[in-house]
Structure 1
Amino acid sequence: MTELNYDFDHLDSLMDDAGLDALLLTSKHNIQYMLGGYRYIFFSAMDAIGHSRYLPVIIYVKGQKEHTGYIGNTMERGEHENTPFWVPHFYPVGWSSLDSTIQAIKHLEMIGVTAGRIGVEPPFLPSDAQDALRDALPDAAFLNATSVLENLRAVKSPAELRTLREASERITKAMQATIAASGVGSTKHEIIERLRQEETKLELEFDYCLLTLGASHNRAGSNQAWADGEILSIDSGGNLGGYIGDICRMGFLGEPDAELIDLLGEVEEVQQAAFAEVKAGAPGIAAFTAGQAVLARQPNKQHMDFFGHGMGLVSHEAPFLLTNHPVSYEGRDAENPLKAGMVLSIETQMQHPTRGFIKLEDTLTVTETGFEMFGTEGRGWNRGGTG
C-alpha cells in the first residue's frame, strides 16, 4: 500500500466527532492527501474541459477502508497501471463533473451507503454534482466535512515536513539569486519573470510573486524600474509536490543606511517575539499575542501589521489562529495547544510612508521544545546588482 501521511483510526475519530458516516471528497488537495501524494498532471493547472470540468472523487466509509473508491479521468488508467493507487475501487470514467458524480452514486449504492450522514466539501462541489447527489440519494444528509480534512492534515508527517523544508529553502535560494541578478533599471515584470525562472530551475512550481520597489506599497507587476538607493520586497509562493513554500525577503540597491537597518530591525523584533512562544503544548494564540505586544512598542507601530497562519497543501490551513486577519475565517484553534509537526507562517510588515514596504515572512514547524525554521537564509538586507 502507498505510504500515507495519516492513519485511518485518526480519520475515523474525526468523523465520529463530526457525526459523519462517510466522506465524498472532491478537492484536488484532499484527493492528493488521501491518495498518498498523487495528483493527476493533466489537470494540475486547470480543471475546465469541454462544457464541464475535471472532478476527482474519493469515497471513504468510516471504519471500512475496503470500500474506498476513487473516481478519476479516463486517462488516469495509465497512471494506475504504472503506480497502482491504494484504493480497492478505481473508476477511470470521468470527463465531466456529472460523469464523476454518477459513478460516485453507483459506488455508494454498490456498498450500501444510500442514507446516513455523508460529508462533502461545499466549496469544491459543483452545483450540478450537488443536485445529482441529492436527487439520487434523498435519504442521505450531506454535511460540510471541510474541517474534518483540515484537522486530519494539521500535523504533518516527517515526509511532509521534509518537503515543506525543501520548498522553503529553494524559494529563499531563488530569491537571493533574483535579487543579486537584478539591478538599476530592472522592471518589476522582469524581476518577477527572473524569479519564476529561478524557482523553475530548482524544480519548484511557481505560484506567484508579490513585489514592491522603492517607496511604493503596490505589490502588483508593472514596468516600474528599480533605482539606486531603493528597497525591494519580494514575497513568493512556490510549490513542491503540492506543498507550499511561502517566504518574504528584502533587497536593496546599494548599502542600506542606518534608518533602513533600524526599520528592518523593528520587523525582526516582532518576528522573534512570536517565535519565542512557539512550542508544542503552548496555545496557538500565544505567539501572536507576544508579537502584537512587541509591535505596540515599535516607533513605527502605526505603519505595521503582524499575522500568521497554518500552511501545507493549502496556503492557509489548520491551525487557524486569527479571525479574519487577513483571510476570512474563524480563529477556531487560537486557544488550542500547538502540536509538534504543525507548520506556521509568521509575517510582519511595515508600510513605511517614505521608505516603502518592509516585510519578513518565515515558515516554522512546531517541535516539542520550540520550533524549527525552514528557509533561514537572506533574512537581512540582500544586495541587488551583485550577480
Structure 2
Amino acid sequence: MKHEFSPLHAASADDLPYSFADLDAAMEAAGLDALVATSKHNVRYLLGGYQFIFFSAMDAIGQSRYLPAFVYVRGHPDQTGYFANKMEIHEHKVAPFWVPEFRPDHWGSVDTMTAVAGYLQKCGIASGRIGFESGFMPKDGFDAIAEALPQASLVDASMALTGLRMIKTKPELDLLREATARISQSMQATILASGEGSSKHQIIERLRQEETKRELAFEYCLLTLGDSHVRAGSDQTWNRGEVLSIDSGGNLHGYIGDICRMGVLGEPDAELIDLLAEVEAVQQAAFACIGPGQTGSAMIAAGEAELKRGPNAKHNDFFAHGMGLISHEAPFLMTNHPVAYEGIDAERLFEPGMVLSVETTLQHPTRGYIKLEDTVIITEGGHELFGSDNRGWIVSQVDAD
C-alpha cells in the first residue's frame, strides 16, 4: 500500500515552520544570546524537517552517541550552524542543507560540543547566556562546552523552544491530519481482523503492521481487553462481549498522531452503548469550548462539568494536552494530570494553529476501560477534529458456533 505524501524538508530558510524574527523574540524574552539545540525533535524542527535516518531508532554508537547540534546566534541567521555526523555529508550532497555553516565532522557528544564551543567563540559568544536543552544534553557534552567557554552562562532553553513550536503551520497541520487519519484506519483494520481468542500480543503486533504499511513509524500501543486495565501486551485473549480499548501513537515524518478508539467482540449491548455515549458527551462538551479567544481552563471546566453529570462520574476522568512533534507539548493545560508538569497555558487564549489532544476515560468496574481520545486543532473559525471517523463502537464479529 503506497501513500503519496510529502514530508517537511526545508530547501531554504523560506521553507522553515518558524521565522527568525519569532526565534529572536523567544530568545530575547529568555535572555539568550545564542542557542544550542540537541534534541532530535527540536533539531528537526529548527532545520525544517530533516532527520538523519541512520540514527532515527537509536543514538548509541561506539563509545558515545549521536548528538546533532543546531547553533543559532540571536539576530544573526547568517551564522546558523548544523553540527552533524560525518555520514551526513552524503545527505548534503543529495539535498543541501540551508544552514550557512554545515559541519559534518563528528561521531560523539564530546567532539560535537567541543566544535560547537569553538564556533561560538568564532561568532563572538565566548561569554553571555547560551541556551541549551538540559533534558537532552549528555553530561560529557555539557562538560565539554562548559570547559571551553568558562565565561559563558549555560541556561536551559527548553521552554523557549517549546513555545516556538506551539503554533503549527499549514504543512505541519497537514502532517498531523494525515497521521491521525492513518492511525484511525489502522485501528479499524486491526479491530475488525482480531477475533475471539486473539491475544494482546497478537493485536498489538497486528496494529504495528497496519501502521507500518501505511508508512507510519509505530510509536506505542496501550491496549486493554474487558475489565483488565493492564495496557501492556500479554497472553490475555479477547472474548465475546468484551470491549477493547486501543490507544496508539503513529509518527509521520516527525509528527505524532495520537487517538483512542473502541472495539467490541460482537454487537454492543444497551449498557455499552450508554457508557460510550457518556464518554462522548464529555468530549463534545469540551469541543464546544475550543476556538480562538477561548481558554484551556474554560474547556476543561466544561468537560469536567459534563463528566460530573454522568451516572459513572466517579469512574470517569477528563484530560487535555498539546500535541505535535512530541506527546504532551505546549499548550500545557493541566497540572500533573497525569504527566508531571505545570498547566502554565491554561489561561492563555487559544490561537489558530494550536493542536490539542482531548481524552475522556471511563474505568468501569465490570465492563472495562472505555475511552475516546481525539486530536483537535484551533482554526480561524473554531476547530477541526482530526480522524473523526470510527468514534463509535467498532464491531468485530463473533464466529458462528
TM range (shorter): over 0.9
Aligned-partner residue type, residue 297 of structure 1: R
Q: Secondary structure at the match of 2:212?
A: helix
Q: Secondary structure at the match of 2:42?
A: helix
Aligned to 1:31: 43
54, 60, 67: which one pairs with 1:42? Answer: 54
Q: Secondary structure at the match of 1:296?
A: helix
Aligned-partner residue type, residue 85 of structure 2: N
Residues of 1 paired with 2:371 and 2:32: CA distance?
Answer: 43
Aligned-partner residue type, residue 102 of structure 2: F
Aligned to 2:182: 170
Q: CA deviation at 1:16?
A: 1.0
71, 96, 111: which one pairs with 2:108? Answer: 96
Aligned to 1:308: 320
Aligned to 1:82: 94
Aligned to 2:134: 122
Aligned-partner residue type, residue 304 of structure 2: Q
Deviations 1:78-120 (A, max 9, x none): 0011111111001111211011111101111121111111111
Q: Percent identity?
A: 61
Residues of 2 paired with 1:254 and 1:283: CA distance?
Answer: 40
Alignment of 1:67-78 (within 5 A): 67-78=79-90
1:57 aligns with 2:98: no
114, 122, 125: which one pairs with 1:110? Answer: 122
Aligned to 1:216: 228
342, 345, 361: which one pairs with 1:349? Answer: 361
Q: Secondary structure at the match of 2:278?
A: helix
**Cα pair 1:181 1:386 within 8 Å, conserved:** no
Aligned-partner residue type, residue 275 of structure 1: F
**Cα pair 1:180 1:386 within 8 Å, conserved:** no
Aligned-partner residue type, residue 374 of structure 1: F
Aligned-partner residue type, residue 253 of structure 1: L
The answer to which of 105-114 and 174-183 deviates more is 105-114
Residues of 2 paired with 1:373 and 1:250: CA distance?
Answer: 17
Aligned to 1:248: 260
Aligned-partner residue type, residue 114 of structure 1: A
Deviations 1:280-328 (A, max 9, x none): 1112221111101111111101111110100100111010010111111
**Cα pair 2:240 2:398 within 8 Å, conserved:** no
Q: CA deviation at 1:385?
A: 3.8
* Structure 1: runs of 5 or more not aligned: none
Aligned to 2:149: 137
Residues of 2 paired with 1:164 and 1:332: CA distance?
Answer: 24
Query: How many residue pairs get matched?
Result: 387
Aligned to 1:338: 350
**Cα pair 2:132 2:157 within 8 Å, conserved:** yes
Q: Secondary structure at the match of 2:209?
A: helix
Deviations 1:91-150 (A, max 9, x none): 111211011111101111121111111111000011111111111111111111011111
Q: Secondary structure at the match of 2:374?
A: strand
**Cα pair 1:214 1:231 within 8 Å, conserved:** yes
389, 395, 399: which one pairs with 1:383? Answer: 395
Deviations 1:180-230 (A, max 9, x none): 001001111000000000001100000111111111111110011111111
Residues of 2 paired with 1:314 and 1:95: CA distance?
Answer: 26
Aligned-partner residue type, residue 362 of structure 2: M
**TM score, norm. by length of structure 1:** 0.99
Residues of 2 paired with 1:214 and 1:328: CA distance?
Answer: 29
Residues of 1 paired with 2:145 and 2:76: CA distance?
Answer: 21
**TM score, norm. by length of structure 2:** 0.95
6, 22, 42: which one pairs with 1:10? Answer: 22
Residues of 2 paired with 1:382 and 1:336: CA distance?
Answer: 37
Aligned to 1:191: 203
Residues of 1 paired with 2:327 and 2:233: CA distance?
Answer: 21
Q: CA deviation at 1:368?
A: 2.2
1:232 aligns with 2:244: yes
The change in CA–CA distance for 1:204 and 1:386 in structure 2 (over 3 A counts) is: farther
1:276 aligns with 2:291: no
1:207 aligns with 2:219: yes
- What RMSD over aligned residues (CA atoms) do the two structures have, in Å? 1.0
21, 32, 43: which one pairs with 2:33? Answer: 21
Residues of 2 paired with 1:15 and 1:385: CA distance?
Answer: 56
Q: CA deviation at 1:369?
A: 2.3
Q: CA deviation at 1:386?
A: 7.9
Aligned-partner residue type, residue 367 of structure 1: T
* Structure 2: runs of 5 or more not aligned: 1-11
Aligned-partner residue type, residue 133 of structure 1: I
**Cα pair 2:265 2:398 within 8 Å, conserved:** no
